[in-house]
Structure 1
Amino acid sequence: MESDFIMEMLKWIQELFANYGYNVLFFGLLLEFVALPFPGETTMAFAGFLSYTGRLDFLTLVVVAFAGTTAGMTITYFIGLKAGLPFIQRYGKWFLFSPAKLEKTQRWFERYGSFLISIGYFIPGVRHFTGYFAGIIALPFRKFALYAYGGALIWVILFLGIGKVFGPQWTGIFHLFELYALWIVSGAAALAVLIVLIRYRRILTVRVLRRSPELELKTKLKETSKER
């Protein structure tokens, strides 16, 4: 049953791309972040597969997906900022933002802070509401944009990349990635930070070693001048 549903959904997505092209990705992702049910990750992975077959351009897909995602996130941020909590509590049910989901998002924010905006893309049931909540708590827009747009770029490249890199096998990889996306991204981020720290430590060590002879020379000159 599940496989039949997936096949029907992919057929539907393929028809959308055939009729509307890249617009499917832009408006689909934009509306997903306003909380309209839309299979954004599946659509991106399938679009990546279409680029693997040569029917779509991968770079254009990245630009369009990034634009749709950031537009949706920015709209939700300003809705939260301008309309505030009372609006969300009263009308949130119309765009699937129930009090329970508001409380869940708040708990995640308390746990991870602003960084949740970046990693929230990989947490099912959270990414759709981080923009609203960031606006509600009046997070400075520059800080919001840094986390939201940076996370969006990573998110769209990863899911488009699944279809582009793995081609016909993308569905199996997509299923695994969907289950463990947060852990994979967290591990990759930790590895990147570790590499940067190791590299910085090496650079710092080289600078210290280079300066050591200069310091010794200056010390000797000072001692010589004192003796005179």
Structure 2
Amino acid sequence: MEWIHELFQQYGYYVLLVGLLLEYIALPFPGEPTLAYAGFLSHQGDLNLPILIMLSFIGTSVGMTFQYFLGNKLGMPFIQKYGKYVFLTQKKIDMTKIWFDTYGYFLIFIAFFIPGVRHFTGYFAGIINLPFRRFAMTIYSGALFWVSFFLIGGYWLGENLEEIFQILGQHIWKILFGMIIITLITRFRKNIKHMILKLIN
């Protein structure tokens, strides 16, 4: 997490304001770890927690609003053609559609806590012409809850958060390996089951 610390030393509050805005335009930015670390810095007295919440909320809300109007203006054909250049693949669009068909407006609120979905709910909402007023009420309340959750969490964890990051850093390759194995098993479970049954028989 040293590089995140260096970012805050250089740019202060702008890290979250600009970083979260860029994340919700679908550019890579580690939102949750950065929010939690900013909360930790506020615990140390380096940053002000209410200001962090306000700027994080603004960055997230502006990014999601940009998503909505871009999706609404350009539509699905444009997103399908050029979305891949900002990691907005057809697979992620389809996944967001499935989630939205299942959960409706509730998805817009909880999507902040679902990696791979939250970055595209704004685009999708704009593409299918959801009423902006209702979208805005849901997305802004979700944004405020999401940024507050991680900032206040980092604040209350305090020194323990640094220990958690150190442990994660030491075991990151084990964690990634475990995630890859779980993903492969989940994706190819039918093939694996078929192979096992074939071996048994």
Does the aligned pair in 2 maintain the 1:52–1:164 contact within 8 Å?
Answer: yes
Indicate conservation of the 8 Å contact 1:73/1:131, yes or no: yes
- The higher relative CO (CA closer than 8 Å, separation ≥ 6) is in 2
CA apart distance, 1:115: 1.2
Partner residue in 2 for 1:47: 38
Tell me the alpha carbon deviations over residues 115-160 of structure 1, each in whole angstroms, 9 at most, x when there is no partner: 1110000011100000000000000110110110000000000000
Total equivalences in the alignment: 165
Structure 1, residues 56-98: CA drift from partner, whole Å, max 9, x if none? 0000000000000000000000010000001101100011110
Matched, 1:144 2:135: yes
Matches within 5 A, 1:53-202: 53-170=44-161, 172=164
CA displacement, residues 4-37 of structure 1 (integer Å, 9 cap, x when unaligned): xxxxxx1111111111110110000000011111
Answer whether contact 1:162 1:170 (CA < 8 A) is retained. no
- Cα distance in 1 for residues equivalent to 2:77 and 2:105: 22
Which structure shows the bigger proportion of residues in helix conformation? 1
CA distance in 2, matches of 1:109, 1:82: 20
Aligned-residue CA RMSD (Å):
1.2
2-structure distance, mates of 1:153, 1:35: 19
Q: SS of the counterpart of 1:124?
A: coil
- One-letter amino acid matched to 1:101: K
The whole-number CA distance in structure 2 between the counterparts of 1:124 and 1:21 is 25
After TM superposition, give the deviation of residue 162 of structure 1 in Å. Answer: 1.2
SS in 1 for 2:33: helix
Whose Rg is larger?
1
Once the two structures are TM-superposed, the CA of residue 166 in structure 1 deviates from its matched residue by: 1.0
- The residue matched to 1:61 in structure 2 has which SS? helix
Aligned to 2:193: none
| 1:22 is aligned to 2:13 | yes
Task: Give the TM-score normalised by the residue count of structure 1.
Answer: 0.71
TM-score (norm 2): 0.80
Consecutive aligned runs of 4 or more in structure 1 exceeding 3 Å deviation? none
Q: Report the Cα distance in structure 1 between the residues aligned to 2:23 and 2:101, rounded to whole angstroms.
A: 24
1:38 CA displacement = 0.4
Task: Please state whether the residue corresponding to 2:158 is helix, strand or coil.
Answer: helix
Counterpart residue number, 1:203 = none
Instruction: Measure the CA separation in 2 of the matches of 1:170 and 1:119.
Output: 24
Structure 2: give runs of 5+ residues left out of the alignment: 169-201
Distance, in Å, in 2 between the alignment partners of 1:37 and 1:99 is: 18
Identity %: 56
